[in-house]
């Protein structure tokens, strides 16, 4: 179990992976020994699961051998880490627990907000203000006998090694990339060959309004989050000319009030606070007047709040569909009973219902998983500012606040660092200097740290003429 699923995703190392992972799982099973949960497994409790695991079917994996062992593995040994206990996380925890997974850890740093309650169904009004992970874990444990969900507010590298599969239900691309980078950092290579026993599969779900996606990532083997970064477009902003002179959408009118009128009139002391109802009301009123001038309808208080706070409404049904797809993939990989998704599912029910799957391809020079040194092409007369701009604006890098260091005359030198105020002030003058003035040479290595990755990314500077 668990091994054949991986194998089907990459025929190349087929037998070797199967062998290694099978051994790995057997060892884990022997070591973990099982978590006796006596008494809670009444007759027929897992009938809905054994139907998939104890008999063959037209869709089972060609190498699958039906047995009672698979269910025991789920119940007693398989250890799942769920990242996020929000809209997707609540669904995921419920689905996994009802599918027979019992050793589940859930991580979320967030606390429960009143606005979560319409869809994050493990929370009640009395839970508002409490940590999401803890409340979600307690709810599942009290409702589903034998389930042992443990909650955490943060995670470290040590903890991840212990999990068989990781599922992400996050709303942040940065957190996703960080997690992706973390799993890649756990891979071990011997003479350039990936050791399959170091792979921890990552199932990632994401939703945005009526759109969603689910994907299966085998770090080091299949496309990772950073391989397909172009699929996540950076924040969309409306062109200023549209906002200023030819609005067509209610959003354009709200942006007009927010970007142009607010800074000019500076009401309430100047700073716009998206959580302050009076501020939203102010923007709403101005936006409504603007919309009336251009015969645009649809400016509401709610939309104003959404635009100001950059909120995309969460849709409970989208979360349910994506979480179900993710939980199914976890089940398939954990049991090897079915061939897992290869490797990306798109879901959209904005207008009718549309879904399809495709195989996202690995990017040969992916900055996260390729182990290929990253090239930076700049003339020696380029300023450091331009390099910084490239790191943040390039569609395939999309860094947030990169810190650039290098080695000059045998010494470590910070060229620019934004996150610490004193260092930022000290290194800011470097931004206006050319690469040549900074003493950098052709072939120079630049180490770049950023919140999007737990590991420093190495770049090789190539001077162009
Ligand atoms: Zn990659």
pLDDT in tens, 373-398: 889 999 999 999 999 999 988 888 98
Residue 412 has a pLDDT of: 92
What are 240-256's pLDDT values in tens digits? 778 888 899 999 999 99
CA dihedral sign of residues 432, 434, 435, 438: negative
DSSP 66: -
What's the start-to-end Cα distance of the chain, in Å? Answer: 55
Using the mean position of ligand 1's atoms as its centre, give its distance from the Cα of residue 192 in Å: 16
Residue pointed to by tokens 């939980």: 327
- The mean pLDDT of 177-195, rounded to a whole number, is 91
**Percentage of residues in the chain having pLDDT higher than 70:** 89
CA dihedral sign of residues 184, 188, 192, 193: negative
The more confidently predicted of residues 140 and 37 is 140
Q: Is a pLDDT exceeding 90 seen at residue 89?
A: yes
Q: Nearest Cα to 286, choosing from 269, 271, 265, 312?
A: 265
Q: CA 87, CA 321: separation in Å to the nearest integer?
A: 11
pTM equals: 0.79
Using the mean position of ligand 1's atoms as its centre, give its distance from the Cα of residue 397 in Å: 11
What are 21-76's pLDDT values in tens digits? 454 544 444 434 344 445 688 999 999 999 999 999 898 999 899 999 999 999 99
**Percentage of residues in the chain having pLDDT higher than 90:** 68
Helix (H, G, I), strand (E, B), or coil: what is residue 16?
helix
Active-site residue set: 241
Of all helices (H) and strands (E), which one includes residue 240? helix 240-245
Using the mean position of ligand 1's atoms as its centre, give its distance from the Cα of residue 367 in Å: 7
Least confident span in 44-53, 119-128, 133-142, 168-177: 168-177
Furthest CA-CA distance within the chain? 77
The more confidently predicted of residues 229 and 98 is 98
Using the mean position of ligand 1's atoms as its centre, give its distance from the Cα of residue 428 in Å: 32
Q: Nearest Cα to 1, choosing from 10, 11, 18, 92?
A: 18
């Amino acid at each position: 179990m668990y091994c054949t699923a991986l194998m089907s995703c990459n025929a190349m190392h087929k037998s070797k992976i199967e062998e290694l992972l099978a051994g790995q799982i057997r060892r884990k099973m022997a070591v973990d020994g099982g978590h006796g949960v006596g008494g809670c497994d009444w007759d027929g409790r897992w009938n809905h699961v054994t139907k998939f695991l104890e008999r063959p079917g037209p869709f089972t994996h060609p190498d699958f051998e039906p047995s009672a062992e698979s269910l025991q593995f789920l119940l007693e040994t398989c250890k799942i880490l769920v990242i996020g206990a929000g809209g997707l996380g609540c669904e995921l925890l419920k689905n996994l627990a009802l599918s027979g997974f019992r050793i589940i850890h859930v991580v979320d740093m967030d606390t429960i907000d009143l606005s979560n309650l319409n869809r994050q169904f493990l929370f009640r009004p009395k839970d508002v203000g409490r940590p999401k992970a803890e409340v979600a874990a307690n709810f599942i444990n009290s409702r589903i006998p034998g389930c042992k969900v443990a909650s955490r507010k943060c995670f470290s590298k040590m903890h991840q090694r212990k999990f068989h599969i990781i599922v992400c239900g996050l709303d942040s691309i940065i957190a996703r990339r960080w997690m992706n980078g973390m799993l890649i950092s756990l891979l071990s290579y011997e003479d350039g060959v990936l050791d399959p026993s170091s792979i921890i599969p990552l199932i990632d779900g994401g939703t945005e309004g009526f759109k969603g996606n689910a994907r299966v990532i085998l770090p080091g083997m299949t496309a990772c989050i950073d391989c397909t970064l172009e699929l996540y477009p950076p924040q969309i902003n409306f062109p200023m000319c549209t906002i200023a002179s030819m609005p067509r959408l209610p959003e354009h009118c709200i942006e007009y009030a927010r970007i142009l009128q607010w800074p000019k009139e500076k009401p309430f002391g100047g700073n716009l606070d998206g959580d302050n109802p009076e501020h939203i009301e102010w923007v709403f009123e101005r936006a409504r007047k603007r919309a009336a001038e251009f015969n645009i309808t649809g400016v509401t208080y709610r939309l104003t709040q959404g635009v100001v706070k950059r909120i995309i409404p969460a849709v409970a049904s989208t979360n349910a569909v994506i979480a179900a797809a993710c939980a199914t993939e976890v089940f398939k990989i954990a049991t090897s009973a079915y061939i897992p998704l290869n490797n990306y599912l798109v879901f959209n029910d904005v207008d009718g219902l549309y879904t399809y799957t495709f195989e996202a391809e690995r990017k040969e020079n992916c900055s996260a998983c390729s182990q290929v040194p990253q090239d930076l092409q700049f003339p020696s007369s380029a300023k450091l500012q331009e390099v910084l701009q490239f790191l943040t604006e390039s569609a395939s890098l999309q860094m947030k606040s990169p810190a650039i260091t290098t080695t000059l005359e045998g010494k470590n030198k910070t060229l620019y660092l934004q996150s610490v105020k004193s260092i930022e002030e000290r290194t800011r003058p470097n931004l206006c200097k050319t690469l040549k003035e900074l003493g950098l040479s052709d072939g120079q290595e630049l180490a770049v740290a950023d919140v999007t990755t737990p590991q420093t990314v190495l770049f090789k500077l190539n001077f162009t003429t």
